[in-house]
Structure 1
Amino acid sequence: MIEATWIAFAFVMGLGARSVGLPPLVGYLGAGFALAGFGDLIGVGPRDSAALAHIAHLGVLLLLFTVGLKLKLGNLLRREVIGGGLLHFAISSLVFLPAILLLLDLLWQQALLLAIALSFSSTVLAAKVLEGKRELRAFHGRVAIGVLIIQDLIALAVMSLAAGELPSPWALTLFVLPLLRPLLFRLLDASGHEELMVLLGLLLALVVGGYGFEQLGLSSELGALAFGAMLAAHKRATELSNSLWSIKEVFLVGFFLQIGIGGLPDAHALAFAGAMALLLPLKGLLFFFLFLLFRLRARSAFLSSVSLTNYSEFGLIMASIVLPQWMIPLAITVALSFVISAPLNRIAHPLYERLARRLIPLERDIRHPDEQPISLGDAQVLVMGMGRTGRAAYDRLQEAGLKVVGLDSDPVVIEFSKRAGRRVLFADGEDQMFWQHLDMPMAEAVILALNDAEAKIISTRKLRERGFHGLVVSHALYEDIARRIQEAGVDHTYLTMSEAGAGLAEHVCRDLQARN
């Protein structure tokens, strides 16, 4: 049973990658190459690769659908997203073109298509990394995803033109899609909270969005993304995204396996991948300076650029249509960029802290769209992270008569809390410049209700480094995470599930006493 082989290789290699501090996806890539190398021994043939390619495609569609669930149109219609995406595409294509012509004996038309394929960044890797760090809705995450969507749209247009294919005339019916949003909202409301909701997500991502767009001569990836974005404003969009998490993760393992299983490279393919890997830093530097040009602060520009410093799976899709002879060299190039980019993203925040003194002077001396507050005024308690836990803590403290202010890096969350009458400001707890400039003269306590454990640790250290001696408390899901937060300087760490159980028991005790 070939699926058992895939699972075994993916697990062993993923576990090995994690044990040396790399993301499991790097192990999945290695497993793909291992399967290609031992294909004759274990029976992996073209038919098996085709089946794996189908699984991988489903994973990409589900990923893009869940990305769409977290998108807002306003995040795309920004100068740094549109301008940065278009300028980077044009400049990087022109940078790669002479390098390819110098290295390879190709017609300029083929070299241009290859340069265009290399100008794109990986939507799958960036979205997975940002989602894993819970930064999809942070400012730098929204900028990175916005640029990726611009790139994906360009890629789809280039593939259509290069292949000589035009969309069906029925594609014009897409202009009525926004009219279907009320119907989609009703379907999501009616689907409940269990398997029907999961099936609705699969239906929209794979059937209506994926297969439906293909029948119109458009990209199935674009269809999945579009239907996810149509549901983004629904109050249960996050719940739907969470319900699809495990299914999407399993299918995405197939995506990373598929990159490697396409075949082992020869010396020329390895040389090409190595040369393109040497050019990869130029891609990130170009993003960084373009984002600075469009008024972003150095931190946002750096973190967004790191997310985009890789090569794209869309380059492989494009090669399969117009450059089939370059599939294996491009697969090696994409895989190598993942091996470089994934660990780099993991240390992006600490790396920025080390480089901040050199990067901050490069900022433009103007008002930045990601500006953060410099004073909390008369607030006695600071709540960092305004999700459900943070909002509950904020409301309870306010009822007790304390002056409270909330901070969050997600504008959608901020706007939601402001409509409810809460005082919430935009800020990112992992930004060292925020802590250096923040004035909190009346603050006596800080509650860390952030989702990411690393963000809690960094925030605690920054608080203590700036001389804050007040009360700092945090919640955590697991005991090992709680210990790490306490070692950073938190006064008290509460295990979320244990506290929920204790709260339920307290309610029961009070009700029993009232009855007696």
Structure 2
Amino acid sequence: MPEAVWISFAFVLGLLVKTVGLPPLVGYLAAGFVLAGLSSVTGLTIEATDALGHIAHLGVLLLLFTVGLKLKLRSIVSPEVIGGSLLHFAITCVVFAPPLYWLLELDWTTAVMLAIALSFSSTVLAAKVLESKRELRAFHGRVAIGILIMQDLIALVVMSLAAGKTPSQWALMIFGLPLLRPLLYRLLDASGHDELLVLLGLLLALVLGGLGFEAVGMSSELGALIFGAMLANHPRSQELAKSLWSVKEVFLVGFFLQIGIGGLPDQQALIFALVAGLVLPLKGVLFYFLLLAFRLRARSSFLTSLSLTNYSEFGLIVASVALPEWLVPLAITVSLSFLVSAPANRFAHSIYEKISHRIVRFESRKRHPDEQPISLGDTRVLVMGMGRTGTAAYDWLQPHESRIMGLDSDPAKTEKHQKEGRNVVFADAEDTTFWEGLHMPSLQSVVLAMSDIEGKLIAARMLRKLGFTGYIVAHTMFADEARKIREAGANEAYLTMSETGVALASHLMDESGDQSAQVRNPV
């Protein structure tokens, strides 16, 4: 059975590259090339079947659907994201296309398409690297993800144009899709947290988005992205994305295996990949100076640029539609870029410390609004994380303490609280630049009400590191997390469900007391 061979080779080589700190997808590509090599040496027929092709296509659709789930306007509507991504794309194409045309003796269409494929950065690698370092919500992490989303949108436009499909008259129905959003929201709410949630994601991405758009003569990739984007503002959109993560990753294995099995790299492919690898640093340098031009600090520009200094699996997806004969050279190129980018990003902060004195002189004197130092002024009580728990704590404390402030890393949530009259400002506890510029001369108490454990640990450690000696209290769902929070510097960490039980019992006692008083003192 060819499936058993694919799974065995993909697992073994994926595990091998993971042990050396590289993304498993490098191993999947290698597994495909090994299978192709065995086929040519032994004479056995090992080829990409229709089943593998279908699996690969499903992986691409799920990837685009999960990209759509992250497609919130506030994450990309900023000058550094829109301007940085579009300028980098344009400059890269202008710089890369002529050499490709002259040196490789290509036609202009192929040269431009190759330049476009090389202009993208890896969403998979950057997201995994930032997540592993808990920097997805840091300022530089948000900028990097915003730029990657813009690149994904550009890639989708290119793929749709390259496919050359002519939509039918039924394609006009897509303009009515926003009317389905309330129904989709209800389905997402009703699907629970288990297998129905996964099935709903598959239904929207593969059936309604994929087959539905193909049926009206449009790109299935576009359909998957649009249906994902329609759910992006739902509170459970990220839960849906996480539930589909493993399914998407498994299907994408088929995509990378298919590329490798398609044929071994020849000398020209290896030379192309080597040259593309040598010019890879120019990609990061261009990002760095473009972000500086948008008033980002040198540190944020460097960390963002380094996470984007690689070539993208989306370049392979574009090539699969527009340049199938260039899939193998581009696959080798992407793999080589990962070999450089993954270790470099692991030591990004150390690298910056060593070279900061050389590159900081290019920094603008004007600061980006999100990188201004924050002063708590005369604030005495600080609530970090203004979700349901943080808001409840803030509202209970406000009548007793007027000098209270809330912090939250969600700009939309911050704006909502401000409109409701609460003293809440935007800040991210996981962003080191926030702590570098924090002033808290009058602070006495801190409530850690963020949803994730890592944010609480970072906040507790940094508060103590900055010399804060006041009271820090937090909540968590699990006893082991409570212990970690206390070890990080918090005075106390309460278990959420235990505190909920205590609160319910106190309400019951209060109500019982009121009724007893009424019996003793009838009106």
Fold in common (TM above 0.5):
yes
Q: Residue in 2 aligned with 1:220? A: 220
The residue identity in structure 1 corresponding to 2:116 is I
Counterpart residue number, 2:122: 122
Query: Quick check: 1:299–1:431 contact (8 Å CA) kept in 2?
Result: no
Q: What secondary structure does 2:371 align onto?
A: coil
Match of 1:377 in 2: 377
Distance 1:118 1:269, change over 3 A: same
1:46 aligns with 47
Match runs of 1:80-479 below 5 Å: 80-101=80-101, 103-130=103-130, 139-162=139-162, 164-349=164-349, 351-352=351-352, 355-356=355-356, 358-366=358-366, 368-387=368-387, 390-391=390-391, 394=394, 401=401, 403-418=403-418, 422-448=422-448, 459=459, 462-472=462-472
- AA of the residue aligned to 1:72: K
Which is further off, 87-96 or 250-259? 250-259
Q: CA RMSD in A?
A: 4.0
Q: Contact 2:21 / 2:342 at 8 angstroms: preserved in 1?
A: no
Structure 1: give runs of 5+ residues left out of the alignment: none
Following TM superposition, by how much is the alpha carbon of 1:412 offset from its aligned partner in structure 2, in angstroms? 3.2
Q: 196-205 vs 341-350, which deviates more?
A: 341-350
TM-superposed CA distance for 1:162, in Å, is: 4.7
Report the CA distance between 1:390 and its aligned residue. 4.9
Amino acid at match of 1:203: L
Looking at structure 2, the residues matched to 5 and 493 of structure 1 have their Cα atoms a distance apart, in angstroms, of: 53
Report the Cα offset of residue 280 of structure 1.
1.3
**Deviation per residue, 1:82-135 (Å, 9 max, x gap):** 322222111101222244346534344432322222112233444455566665
Q: Is the Cα–Cα contact under 8 Å of residues 280 and 310 in structure 1 kept in the other structure? A: yes
Structure-2 change in CA distance of 1:136 and 1:203 (3 Å) = farther
Distance in 1 between the 2:398 and 2:256 partners? Answer: 48
Letter matched to residue 429 of structure 2: G
2: CA distance, partners of 1:349 / 1:475: 30
Greater displacement, 103-112 / 309-318: 103-112
Say if 1:65 and 1:224, in contact at 8 Å, map to a contact too: yes
Kept in 2, the 8 Å contact 1:260–1:332? The answer is: no
> What number of residue pairs does the alignment pair up?
511
Deviation at 1:493, TM superposition (A): 7.8
Q: Out of 35-44 and 217-226, give the one that drifted further.
A: 35-44
Separation of aligned partners in 1, 2:410 and 2:354: 25
Q: Is the Cα contact below 8 Å between 2:383 and 2:394 reproduced in 1? A: yes
Q: Aligned-pair distance for 1:449?
A: 5.2
| Rg comparison, structure with higher value | 2
Question: SS state of the match for residue 296, structure 1?
Answer: coil
Structure 2 contact 135–431 (Cα < 8 Å) conserved: no
Give the secondary structure class of the aligned counterpart of 1:370: helix
AA aligned to 2:281 is: P
TM-score for both structures, normalised by structure 1: 0.82
Instruction: Write the deviation string for residues 128-168 of structure 1: whole angstroms up to 9, x where unpaired.
Output: 55566665565444433443343334334444555554444
d(CA) in 2 for partners of 1:478 and 1:351?
A: 36
Distance 1:325 1:11, change over 3 A: closer
Structure 2 unaligned blocks of 5 or more: 513-523
The residue type paired with residue 276 of structure 1 is A
In 2, distance between residues paired with 1:491 and 1:236? 30
CA distance in 2, matches of 1:471, 1:507: 22
CA contact (8 A) 1:137 1:410 kept: no
Alignment of 1:53-92 (within 5 A): 53-92=53-92
Structure 2 letter corresponding to 1:45: I
Q: Write the letter of the residue equivalent to 2:376.
A: L
Asked whether the 8 Å contact 1:35–1:44 carries over to 2, the reply is: no
Residues 25-48 of structure 1, C-alpha deviation per residue, up to 9 Å, x if partnerless?
A: 444444444444445779773234
Using the alignment, how far apart are the partners of 1:129 and 1:66 within structure 2? 17
Give the whole-Å Cα distance in 2 for the aligned partners of 1:57 and 1:327. 15
Q: 1:238 to 1:110 in 2, by over 3 A?
A: closer
**SS of structure 1 residue aligned to 2:425:** strand
Q: Deviations over 1:419-448 (max 9, x none)?
A: 565433222335444323211012234455
> Which amino acid letter does the alignment assign opposite residue 232 of structure 1?
A
Give the equivalent residue in structure 2 for 1:490.
489
SS in 1 for 2:279: helix
2 CA distance for matches of 1:271 and 1:344? 23
Counterpart amino acid of residue 46 in structure 2: G
Q: 1:399 to 1:32 in 2, by over 3 A?
A: farther
Paired letter, 2:410: D
Cα distance in 2 between the residues matched to 1:476 and 1:345: 31
Aligned-pair distance for 1:202? 1.6
Deviations 1:377-434, CA, capped at 9 Å, x for gaps: 2333444444566556655655775854333333234345445654332223354443
Higher mean C-alpha displacement, 112-121 vs 192-201: 192-201
Q: Is 1:383–1:405's contact at 8 Å kept on the other side of the alignment?
A: yes
Q: Deviations over 1:237-269 (max 9, x none)?
A: 334334334433433444454454443323322
Q: 1:223 to 1:7 in 2, by over 3 A?
A: same
